[in-house]
Amino acid sequence: MTIEHQTTTEIDVVKAFLSALERKETAEAIALLDPLATYQNVPFPAAKGRDQIARQLNGLERQFNGFEVRYHNIAANGPVVLTERTDILTMGSVSGAFWVCGTFEVHDEKITLWRDRFDFADLTWSFVRGAGQALRAKLTGR
């Protein structure tokens, strides 16, 4: 009898991780992190280790009631996965959509490095636009 081994690509691991965050399944996302993983939202200081990253993710989940990812490009070169995407964060009735470039390193189906880069001006303006849209919807009843 032959046993088939199913392999998971590095891209699949990254997509599963971000998908779990979208569904607010933070524990599921954290399980995809290596215990010694590093997370850095550039230019903020890096969180080192699964426990520090879990604290940050749980804090973000409490602060934002929604998170969505729209992929523009995703590519892998060995263990390195690059994502070009739009992230959408929702706080109350206000959503902000902004460009993010992510670098992930995946080893043995666990994320060992997660580094995101974004433009503060883009992030700020996305929430200004989102606040305007929320206000307009409230005033017009739509």
Catalytic residue numbers, as ranges:
87, 116
Note every long-range contact of 72-77, with CB atoms under 8 Å and residues 24 or more positions apart, other chains counting. Answer: 74/11, 74/14, 74/15, 75/11, 76/9, 76/10, 76/11
Would you say 71 and 88 are in contact if contact means Cβ atoms under 8 Å apart? no
